[in-house]
Amino acid sequence: MEKCWNILQSDADEVRALQTALGINEILCRILVQRGIRTFEGARSFFRPQLTDLHDPWLMKDMDKAVSRILRARDNGEKILVYGDYDVDGTTAVACVFQFLRKFGPPETIDFYIPHRYREGYGISRQGIDHAHANGFSLIISLDCGIKSVDLIGYAATLGIDFIVCDHHLPDAELPPAIAILNSKQPGCPYPYKELCGCGVGFKLITALADRLGFPKEAALQYLDLVATAVAADIVPVDGENRVLSYFGLKKANEDPNNGIRALIQLSGLQKELKMINLVFMIAPRVNAAGRMDDARKVVHLFTSSGLPDALSYAGQLHADNSDRKEADSNTTEEALAMLEGDPIYSERRSTVLYQPHWHKGVVGIVASRLIERYYRPTVVLTRSGEVIAGSARSVNGFNVYEAIHACREHLIGYGGHFAAAGITLQPDQMQAFILKFEEVVASTIQPQSLRPELIIDAELPFEAIRPGLYKILEQMQPFGPGNPQPVFVARRLTDKGSRIVKEQHIRFCLQQGIHQADGIGFGLASKFALLQAGTPVDVVFTLEENEWNNIKSLQLKVIDLAPSA
């Protein structure tokens, strides 16, 4: 599907002022201004993060209550259960807090619990609370979940079990009856940064505990590689405090990684420096696959392994789970695309809702995202889950899929999510009514521009400006992610100088602009090769990357899209 190119604009006076202050390329200053960096001090803070930039954990509402309750549990010999979600954010959070607590309390009084994705579902479960009660736990620390579990935490209280909730999801009007709630999004919390992930909140808890106990800062900082993994996987903004956590977390992952991360790197065969993109596409899928295909408890065992041999064993299990996930993902996507292409009614709709009873519940969200790559519209993929139907929804640019799902609530047993994604369950006899209602809601509310993918471009970059010095500064903008994406450029009126198709799907570019030439690679762009064959000028959208061949490094374009020049 053709993308809508959107080139960002910057205030010219602010760009000139920043260029005067920094003395660097005007194009770089334009990008920095777009990202809210307008002064020398702002640029220094951005390019040179410091651990001293991290906020005081005691600023978080209820932190003193949480720390005091944990220490009282230790002093009284109470058993503490560290409870977390089954995704990357939840399991890394559990690994951090579980390991830290075992360092200052009797190890036999500390254990962890990860709910089973299919038997218990997301978040706090009654089964998990009953497990805690049966095994004598009087304090549960929930990580990446719990903020909406009002009734279940109330139930735990009737059993004599206290809760400390560490969560980052938006609270409802009614908060759970916990001893302490650590969530910077809750009303009345003065903590200045509101976008921590669940593992980030857990890190703040152990930072405060380390401070209260008089431990060296390294007692908490040693877990930063796990925090960075969670930031990358949970798609939270990589700005403010998250940028600092990610920056130093990646530094640790490259210099002295957790045994679990080291094992996953070794199994993946990565030889280069580990970057945020590797955490997103190499580490996170393997970790998430455990919960999708089997049992996520093995992830905590991986990240708490005391030696590399044990970690490699658990990493091998995750690798196998991921292979199963990829096979289920591929097969389901193929079947779903065949359904869309085989029935003309789908081409007339503004939404996609597909169902097959045999599809694996663990991959329906991934498949929904893949369908959007081909058919750009709000998409729901459903499958059978016991006696009910369950599935995942994914959205497109500018459309609130959670609100659309909410409008269909009369046909649902349950639902939850946010602007871009949601999960639903419904009775089989309500499926057709839901499909019709969802289409009605989407068709009546979606804006035309939301039905075409948008490609955000930071600036125009002529070939003459592509130099090692520019690339070096661009790399200092790492780590990239939401809120600080890798800069995307456009170059105009380029002529082909021998580009060719490679492996049937990709283009190896050789392009010229005036007297300057650049090479590049465009994955999955072979269908646009005719634009180059036409012999007329083209505009190309790309990112810059470093290519190494025979120990020689050079800059190349990683082409995202191309179109005829105006």
Tell me the pLDDT tens digit for each residue of 477-508.
Answer: 999 999 999 999 999 999 999 999 999 999 99
Q: What is the pLDDT of residue 170?
A: 86
Torsion angles phi and psi, residue 525, rounded to 5: -105, 10
pLDDT tier, 550 (very low <50, low <70, confident <90, very high otherwise)? confident
Q: What is the pLDDT of residue 193?
A: 98
Q: How many CA atoms lie within 13 A of 295 on its CB side?
A: 7
pLDDT surpasses 80 at 1: no
pLDDT single digits (tens) 161-170: 999 999 998 8
> Cβ-count burial of 410 within 10 angstroms (0-12 exposed, 13-18 middle, 19+ buried)?
exposed
CB 144 within 8 A of CB 87: yes
pLDDT single digits (tens) 225-281: 999 999 999 889 999 999 999 999 999 999 999 999 999 999 888 888 999 999 998
Q: What is the pLDDT of residue 563?
A: 96
> Cβ-count burial of 313 within 10 angstroms (0-12 exposed, 13-18 middle, 19+ buried)?
middle
Q: What is the mean pLDDT of residues 287-303?
A: 93
Torsion angles phi and psi, residue 105, rounded to 5: -130, 165
pLDDT surpasses 90 at 34: yes
**Among 230, 193, 194, which residue's Cα sits nearest to residue 95?**
230
**127's tokens:** 């089964």
pLDDT single digits (tens) 42-91: 999 999 999 999 999 999 999 999 999 999 999 999 999 999 999 999 99
Q: What rounded mean pLDDT belongs to the chain? A: 95
CB 67 within 8 A of CB 209: yes
Q: What is the pLDDT of residue 161?
A: 98
How big is the chain, counted in residues? 566
Q: Which residue has the higher pLDDT, 277 or 117?
A: 277
